[in-house]
């Protein structure tokens, strides 16, 4: 430690406008310290001191994905670091928001945070008010617009989910109405059977054939349109030859169930002792049976789709789950893709390249879904609804990496350095607030000690999110 010289302080750009009295008070409150190479303060420690470099060399770092990343290296006299927001009071971050290391023996003016705050309020009251307004006002504005953007995104997702739910729900309603008609037809045919027009032995065989037809529906082969058309023509001709009216209307149902002329010949042989109209009634009875099975399959498929969508929505919102939990990132990504399915449309091809060997990750799951939503939404917008969206996961050292790629025109080079800044957007006025990537950055970096970066060339833009597998501590609840 050495004596503080007011005239030396006057040579620093930070203090060049102070008067003699202020410089003397600064020297009286502060102290001169020599620091050997090594850490001066570390990120996350209580911010107790304000440091001004008089001579030497320092480097500043920030944690990203559990790794220290250098943000600045300088030997400029007068640069400062440490508790420089102490004048904002209790509302400011109480801990150092980065680390500082000395690269060679350096000399500092060191002020306790309380003394620095007192001097700022006494010497520059108007400047403090302006800085408070800029700091807290900007933060409040950012929070409010961010909340609005979340609501807008939620509204868009809700509209998309409603649309997605409407399709299977409408299909289930249609299938149920059709099923009611078929069951009514079967009751009518059952009455005919009950009148004794079927010999007992033939009726037993017919019930067996009915079971075969129902089982065959589940095993029906997938036919090309041309194959299906050929089989329908063959069956329609057969029905005409057998004197069954509207055979062309019955044929598609039997073909859809995988039943052909040979199978119907077996039905005919079983009922050969019956009258012709009884045979036609049996064919229509079997048709009702097949249609009923097909409609039930449609209802099962539709309600299953509804259940899948509801499950995806629950996974996406993390409803009824702890805010901080250990989860499979692939479940989060899949639920987000389901929620954004309508926005993806038919023009976007989705390629999933998942490393299924990745272990679960401790995280705020609902907030990570917001990150995936922002990145995928931006990718689809960049491709103008047509291109390839790639979602890739892999392990990188002690981190899990999630890569969202698109085949859009790319991000201009002069925009890449600002892409995560609040309110910065490359979208036209009215189409973006510039907070989606800022929110994503804060969720990944501030809440998960992770890292998010972008690499972009025309036709290949990739946002990569890295999340530590073993965070040092549970992420903070603030953003």
Phi, psi (5° rounding) for residue 15?
Answer: -115, 10
DSSP 182-200: HHHHHHHHHHHIIIIIS-H
What span, in angstroms and rounded, lies between the C-alpha atoms of 319 and 323?
A: 9
What span, in angstroms and rounded, lies between the C-alpha atoms of 335 and 309?
A: 9
Mean pLDDT for the chain?
A: 79
DSSP 247-281: HHHHHHHHHHTT--HHHHHHHHHHTTTS-HHHHHH
What span, in angstroms and rounded, lies between the C-alpha atoms of 349 and 372?
A: 17
Strand stretches in 330-396, DSSP E:
348-353, 361-363, 387-396
Residues 42-59 have a mean pLDDT of 92
Question: What are 399's strand-pairing partners?
Answer: 396, 468
- CA distance to 15, 325, 472, per residue, from 475 (Å): 38, 11, 9
Residue 212 neighbours by CB under 8 Å, 6+ apart? none
Judging by DSSP bridges, how do beta strands 361-363 and 99-112 pair with one another?
A: unpaired
What span, in angstroms and rounded, lies between the C-alpha atoms of 63 and 476?
A: 14
Tell me what pLDDT residue 432 has. Answer: 44
Q: Given a cut of 60, is residue 431 above it in pLDDT?
A: no
Angle at 75 between CA 72 and CA 80, to 5 degrees: 65
The structure's pTM equals 0.46
Q: How many CB atoms lie within 10 A of CB 45?
A: 11
Write down the residue that tokens 């919102």 correspond to.
317
Cβ atoms of 364 and 324 within 8 Å: the answer is yes
Q: How many CB atoms lie within 10 A of CB 423?
A: 14
Cβ atoms of 198 and 206 within 8 Å: the answer is yes
Tell me what pLDDT residue 478 has. Answer: 42
Residues 50-58 have a mean pLDDT of 94
| Rama region for 18: left / alpha / beta (φ>0; ψ in -120 to 50; rest) | beta
For residue 75, give the nearest of 59, 86, 64, 88 by alpha carbon: 59
Q: Report helix, strand or coil for 109.
A: strand
CA 315 to chain centre: 11
Tell me what pLDDT residue 434 has. Answer: 42
Cβ atoms of 274 and 262 within 8 Å: the answer is no
Write down the residue that tokens 């009751």 correspond to.
187
Q: Given a cut of 60, is residue 256 above it in pLDDT?
A: yes
Write down the residue that tokens 């036919």 correspond to.
223
Roughly how many angstroms between the first and final C-alpha of the chain, as a whole number?
39
What span, in angstroms and rounded, lies between the C-alpha atoms of 22 and 14?
A: 13
Tell me what pLDDT residue 433 has. Answer: 39
Helix axes 225-241, 247-256, angle to 10 degrees: 130
What span, in angstroms and rounded, lies between the C-alpha atoms of 211 and 213?
A: 5
Beta strands across the sheet bearing 387-396? 348-353, 387-396, 399-406, 460-468, 451-457
For residue 339, give the nearest of 380, 292, 286 by alpha carbon: 380
Question: What are 100's strand-pairing partners?
Answer: 41, 60
Residues 440-464 have a mean pLDDT of 88
Q: Report helix, strand or coil for 198.
A: coil
For residue 62, give the nearest of 85, 47, 36, 44 by alpha carbon: 44
DSSP 12-78: STTTTT--HHHHHHHHHH-EEEEE-SEEEE-TTSB--EEEEEEEEEEEEEEEETTEEEEEEEE--TT
In terms of Cβ atoms closer than 10 Å to its own Cβ (0-12, 13-18, 19+), residue 83 is: buried
Using one digit for the tens of pLDDT, what is the confidence trace for 293-348? 888 877 877 776 676 666 656 655 554 455 678 889 998 898 888 777 777 777 89
Write down the residue that tokens 């006494």 correspond to.
122
Q: Given a cut of 80, is residue 94 above it in pLDDT?
A: yes
Cβ atoms of 110 and 2 within 8 Å: the answer is no
Q: Given a cut of 80, is residue 421 above it in pLDDT?
A: no
What share of the chain in percent tops pLDDT 70? Answer: 77
Using one digit for the tens of pLDDT, what is the confidence trace for 342-395? 777 778 999 999 999 999 988 888 788 888 888 988 898 889 888 999 999 999
């Amino acid at each position: 430690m050495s004596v503080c010289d007011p005239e030396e302080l006057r040579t620093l750009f930070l203090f060049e406008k102070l008067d003699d009295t202020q410089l003397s008070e600064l020297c009286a409150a502060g102290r001169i310290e020599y620091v050997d190479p090594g850490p001066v303060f570390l990120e996350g420690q209580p911010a107790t001191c304000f440091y001004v470099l008089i001579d030497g060399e320092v480097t500043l770092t920030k944690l990203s994905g559990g790794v220290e990343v250098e943000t600045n290296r300088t030997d400029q006299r007068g640069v400062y670091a440490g508790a420089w927001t102490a004048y904002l009071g209790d509302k400011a971050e109480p801990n150092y928001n980065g680390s500082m290391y000395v690269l060679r023996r350096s000399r500092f003016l060191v002020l306790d945070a309380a003394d620095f705050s007192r001097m700022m309020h006494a010497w520059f009251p108007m400047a403090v008010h302006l800085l408070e307004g800029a700091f807290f006002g900007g933060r409040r504005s950012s929070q409010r617009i961010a909340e609005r953007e979340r609501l807008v995104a939620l509204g868009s997702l809700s509209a998309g989910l409603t649309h997605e739910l409407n399709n299977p729900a409408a299909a289930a309603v249609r299938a149920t109405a059709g099923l009611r008609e078929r069951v009514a037809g079967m009751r009518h045919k059952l009455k005919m059977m009950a009148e004794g027009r079927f010999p007992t032995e033939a009726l037993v065989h017919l019930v067996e054939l009915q079971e075969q037809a129902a089982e065959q529906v589940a095993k029906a082969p997938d036919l090309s349109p041309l194959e299906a058309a050929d089989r329908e023509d063959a069956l329609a001709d057969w029905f005409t030859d057998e004197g069954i009216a509207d055979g062309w209307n019955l044929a598609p149902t039997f073909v859809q169930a995988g039943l052909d002329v040979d199978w119907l010949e077996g039905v005919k042989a079983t009922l050969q002792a019956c009258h012709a109209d009884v045979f036609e009634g049996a064919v229509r009875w079997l048709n009702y049976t097949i249609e009923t099975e097909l409609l039930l399959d449609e209802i099962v498929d539709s309600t299953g789709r509804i259940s899948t969508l509801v499950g995806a929505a629950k996974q996406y919102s993390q409803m009824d789950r702890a805010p901080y939990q250990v989860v499979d990132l692939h479940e989060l990504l899949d639920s987000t893709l389901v929620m954004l399915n309508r926005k993806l449309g038919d023009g976007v091809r989705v390629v999933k390249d998942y490393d299924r060997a990745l272990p679960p990750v401790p995280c705020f799951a609902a907030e990570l879904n917001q990150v995936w939503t922002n990145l995928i939404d931006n990718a689809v917008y960049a491709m103008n609804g047509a291109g390839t969206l790639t979602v890739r996961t892999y392990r990188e050292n002690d981190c899990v990496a999630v890569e969202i790629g698109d085949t859009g025109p790319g991000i201009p080079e002069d925009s890449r350095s600002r892409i995560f800044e609040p309110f910065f957007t490359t979208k036209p006025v009215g189409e973006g607030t510039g907070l989606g990537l800022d929110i994503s950055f804060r969720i990944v970096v501030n809440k998960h000690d992770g890292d998010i970066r972008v690499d972009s060339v025309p036709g290949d833009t990739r946002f990569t999110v890295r999340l530590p597998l073993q965070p040092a501590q549970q992420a903070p609840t603030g953003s």
